[in-house]
Structure formats: structure tokens, C-alpha cells
Amino acid sequence: MATSTNFVSPTEIDYSGPSWNNSNEYPSLTSNEFAYDQHQLDVILAHIKESLTGLFELPESEQVTRLQAICEMEEQATILISNMRTFASCLSCVDGTNKEAHAAEMKLSDLAGQLEALVKPVDVFLMTAPESLLEKYFAHAHVKPTEFSLRYRRTKSDQLLTDAEEALIARLKSNGPLAFGAMYEQIASTTRCHFEDPATGKFREVGLAEAAGLLRSNDEKTRRNAWHAIQQGWRANEVAASTVLNALAGWRLELAAQRSKAAGREIHFLDQSLHEARISRATLDAMMSAVGSQKDVGRRALRALAKNQGKAKLDPWDLLAPAKTDAHDSRLTFEKGLGLISEAFDEVHPDLRDFVSTMKKNRWIEGRQLPNKRPGAFQTEYAKSNSPRVYQTYMGSLDDVRTLAHELGHAYHSWVMRDLPFPAKMYPMTLAETASIFGETAFADHLVAKAGNNRQAAIEITYQNAESAAAYLINIPARFEFETKFYERRKQGYVSADELGELMNDAWSSWYGDTLTQNDKLFWMTKAHFSIAEVSFYNYPYTFGALFALGIYALKAERGPEFWPAYNALLRDTGRMTAEDLAMKHLGVDLTKPEFWLKSIAILDAQISAFENY
């Protein structure tokens, strides 16, 4: 049954999304089930410790057998830690004041560090072991799925420090970068903003997640007041936020310096990020060169957005604004929004539609509006049950629906890999965006086609396309430029909040040009991506993923019935190949050349032109 996109105006309609169900994993943090997994983890860690005793003095045949057993136990422990950590995180992100959940997260982070430190001597040994031993090691069925990852990491074997130093680094993580990352999340979850409601003229206290949602309001005064409230809320935390950024960058730079000494060559601060992204510097340079040569495409999008808003230039609070249309209120209830996504996914393949039904039926989607909820949207997964979860604050905007389509794409990526061995499912960020961008593109195309003669609906969805193009071609490259220059500056010493603001201002000027009335100098702290502990340079993979996914999406019509199985095969390979090898195997393209990236940018260019024509 078709889902209407007509707006609904009654003021009492609840636009909030549903609550998710995590009780099938654990009833609570104090449940017997959670305690049992904690006990099992303790037992496994003890067995690993016992198995390490005398390991490197054993004859090779016995050594290989024990190494294989340790590999299996490490995977079991990793799955348990991941599962419990996901549960604790699901509790804390909906309520930043949940002290028990935060304590559990920190304890599990510490246990993850202990596990990493415990097996570090094994990892170092395998990274430098002779090929003859590796062949015997990989002969075990349970170990074989780890081959790609280990061989890929062996390309960095010359950077290894001593066993003791590598173990120390692993142990210190929970009290170093992970603690600072948790500090940022705590600030983001508990900071309150004083928002002036234009409807009443009165101030009310809101969380950062709710304030961020108001940036998507149809009413400019609401957006402006929300933007200023967010700025004021974060400004009170600028010392803490700058400390987080400096600590994370300082940790990574010092680690690169020590590894440079071991390798006898310079290890650039981007090297670890590129390694984790499974791309080469040549690929990153080719993409950024292509994007840099097409700055005006993104700026055209911004100028078209400003024209729709009735402005010569956008204000910073307009960057997430919905399109101006004749409709008074175009918000969609969660049911209607999810129904539209289901329709769009069905046009790609019934399997994708059925997956949406599974997510809804199992209550694997969190969309409530809550006072202490963490800002943003993400997809996560329970490693034991191989079941995904989607998180956002749903407030009824079309952009909220598009975000939901994006996160459901992520979830499908996990779902289609659910039967693979755990090590084969560890795909990098660059490839993680493949299914999500594919999902939101399918949703947008569906709405454009569905709009028909409905000019207002067509304006709204093509406006979003232009908004996304500006993000991928302008905003994210500006983030990359800021981070690069920040790391260069950080080599010289601590970078103050004011200096961070100037670096951000310069990056925005470089990319946005004259399309804005003012730059967002505080973006370095209002955007959570800069303060994620586990991953450095978290931003460029989004542009990579968008352009990569668009290149894949363009093949949908070209390949017909052959596309769907090929698409699933590509997704299933994302955890066991580099991005370059994946692209060559499934697409026959060379990512180290600008041509592929320019073709994808041309798709965005066409989307912008379609909006300009309205």
C-alpha cells in the first residue's frame, strides 16, 4: 500500500520515533545473563593467560596448535566484550545521566585494553613469523578467516616496538584516548542549552540532541536560536573540548614518532588512518584532488540552497534547513517515514524491503526525543546474535527520514554479512558507507519519481540532494583540511580553543568561499567526529563512501537482474579486501586515478542541476 507524502498539520501529532528493544541481549546490566557473560570473559582471559606461559619455548608444532587455540579464545572474548559494550552504550546514549551504563562502558573498555595487551606478544610474533609457520597456522578452519587481516597488518611489521612497549600501549588506551573520548561523549550527553522558543518568547532548557534536531526546523528563528544555544552550550565547555582534541592528537602523534624510530623512516600522522581505512595515500590524494578541482559544484549547491531560502548567502544555521515550500508543515510521522523507505527499498529488491520489516517487527530502531539523549545517528550491532540496531532522534523532518534510510542501509550491510566468521565482518569506514549512501540515494530517487507533478515534493527532495552534495564536496573536505592543519600545529605544542577556532575558520573560508554570511568557528567541538577516540580522521571516509556508493548505484540500471547478487557479493567482501582490490574485483575501476571520482561527482552535479531547474 502506497504511503502518502502529504503533510499533516494537527499540532498534537507525535512525531517522535519508537524505543528500541535490547532485552533479548540482556534484561539489564545487573541481570544474570550479563553477569554470566562477564564471568565467561574472565574465564577466557584466564585461559589465554595460562596458554601464553612458555608459548615461545615450545616446539613449532605445539606452538602452532596453542597459537590457534589462543586465536579462537581471543575471538570469543572479543565477541563478549563487544556484546556487553554495545548493550551499555545503547543505555548510555539514550540517557547521558546513566552512571551505571557509563561505568560499565569504561570497565569494558579497560577489559578490551587488557585483552589487547594480553595477546599483543602473540600478535607481534605472528606479524614477524616466517611464512612456513604461517601456512601451518592458517590451516586451522577457525583461524583461516583471520588471514587477510593478519597479512594486511604484516605490511606494517617494521613499525613494531618491543613486546613490552606494545603491551604497555594497549594497556594505557583505556586511561588515555578512550577516556578522553568518553569525556567528550559525557559532555555532549549532559550539556544543557538555553533555547529561546520563538513561539512563546521564553527560554527553555534542552539537551544538545534536541537542539541539534531543531536545526532542521522549517522556522528560521527556531534554527537561529537553536544554533546560538548550541554555540553557547559548547562554549562553556571549550577548555574541556580542546583538551580532548589535544590529548587525542598528542597520543597519535607520539605513537607515530615512536614507530618512526622503529621503522627508520617517517610515519606520517595520516598513515594509521589510511591503514585502518584500507586505502593507499594515492587513492586519498586522487579523491581529494578530484573534489578540490570541483569546488564550484559544491558551492553551486550552496548558492541554490540560499536562493530557495530567499537569501543571497546562507547563514550557518541554514546548512541543515529543510527546503522552503508552500506546505505549512511537511513533517512525517515515523510510520509514514518508514513506509516511504520500505517502498523505496522494495523498488531496489524485495529483500531490502523485507529487511526493513524485520527491523520494525523486532524493534531494533531507536528514535525517541529524550532530554539526555546523545546527538547524532548511528548503527551498531550485537556480536553474539548478529542483530543490528539503528539509533537517531526522529523529529519528523524529511531529513530525519533520509537519515533513517541511511542508517538502515548500514544495518543491511551488517545483516547480509551475519553468517560470515567474525573476523571477516570487520570492514573499514571507507567501505562502511557503501550501503548507507546506497540506501539514502534509493530513497531520494524514489521520492523524486513519486513526486510526479507535485512540484513542492520534488523541490523538497532535490533540495536534500543538493544539501548532501554540499556536505560531501564542501563540508567534509573542510573538516579534512582543518584536521590536517591541526595535526601539523599540534606537533609544535598545545593548540588552544581560540587557535582551533581560527584553524576551523580558515578551513571553512577555503572551501565555502563566499557562500556563507559567517563561518562556524566552533565546529571543531560541536561536531563529535573530531573527538572519537578509536578512529582518527573520521571525516574523509564519508566523502569516499558517498562517491564510491554513487558509482555502484549508477550500475543498478545498467546491470539489471545481475546487479542485486553482485551488490551483495561486494558488501560481503568489504571485510576481507582493501578498497582498491574490492573496486577492481567488483567494479573493474582503479581508485588511484581521479577518473572514477570525477564520474561520481558528475552524478552529484546532475542532482544539483535538477534542483536548480526548480
Per-residue pLDDT, 329: 65
pLDDT reading at 8 higher than 50: no
* Position 13 confidence tier, pLDDT thresholds 50, 70, 90: confident
Alpha-carbon 17 to chain mean position: 21
pLDDT reading at 523 higher than 90: yes
Per-residue pLDDT, 521: 97
pLDDT reading at 114 higher than 60: yes
Per-residue pLDDT, 4: 40
If you ran DSSP here, which 8-state letter would residue 3 be given?
A: P
CATH of 296-612, one of 3.40.30.10, 1.10.1370.30, 3.30.360.10, 3.40.960.10: 1.10.1370.30
Report the pLDDT averaged over residues 560-577.
Answer: 95
How long a stretch of residues is the chain?
614
Instruction: State which H helix or E strand residue 205 sits in.
Output: strand 202-207
Q: Per residue in 477-489, pLDDT tens?
A: 999 999 999 999 9
- Please tell me the pTM assigned to this model: 0.85
Report the pLDDT averaged over residues 116-121.
Answer: 90
Report the pLDDT averaged over residues 114-124.
Answer: 91
* Position 614 confidence tier, pLDDT thresholds 50, 70, 90: confident
pLDDT reading at 44 higher than 70: yes
CA R_g for the chain: 24
Report the pLDDT averaged over residues 572-590.
Answer: 95
Local structure of 197: helix, strand or coil: strand
Q: Per residue in 194-212, pLDDT tens?
A: 999 999 999 999 999 889 9
Number of alpha carbons in the 13 Å side-chain half-sphere of residue 217: 19
Q: Per residue in 167-196, pLDDT tens?
A: 899 889 888 999 999 999 999 989 999 999
pLDDT reading at 9 higher than 70: no
**Could you tell me the CATH superfamily of domain 32-173?**
Oligopeptidase f, N-terminal domain (1.20.140.70)
Q: Which three cell numbers stand for residue 198?
A: 520563538
pLDDT reading at 330 higher than 80: no
* Position 213 confidence tier, pLDDT thresholds 50, 70, 90: confident
Domain with CATH 1.10.1370.30 in the chain: 296-612
Q: Per residue in 461-474, pLDDT tens?
A: 899 999 999 999 99
Per-residue pLDDT, 7: 39
Average per-residue pLDDT for the chain? 93
Lowest pLDDT segment from 237-251, 323-337, 567-581? 323-337
Angle, in degrees to the nearest 10, between helices 99-128 and 32-52: 30
Residue for grid cell 561536531: 527
- For 569, other C-beta atoms within 10 Å of its C-beta total 12
Across 435-449, b (16+ Cβ under 10 Å) vs e yields: bbbbbbbbbbbbbbe
pLDDT reading at 107 higher than 70: yes
Lowest pLDDT segment from 52-56, 163-167, 438-442, 497-501? 163-167
Domain with CATH 1.20.140.70 in the chain: 32-173
Per-residue pLDDT, 328: 58
pLDDT reading at 272 higher than 80: yes
Q: Per residue in 157-168, pLDDT tens?
A: 999 999 889 889
pLDDT reading at 118 higher than 50: yes
* Position 399 confidence tier, pLDDT thresholds 50, 70, 90: confident
Instruction: State which H helix or E strand residue 530 sits in.
Output: none
pLDDT reading at 451 higher than 50: yes
Per-residue pLDDT, 453: 67
**Distance (Å, rounded) from C-alpha 439 to C-alpha 461?**
14
* Position 11 confidence tier, pLDDT thresholds 50, 70, 90: low
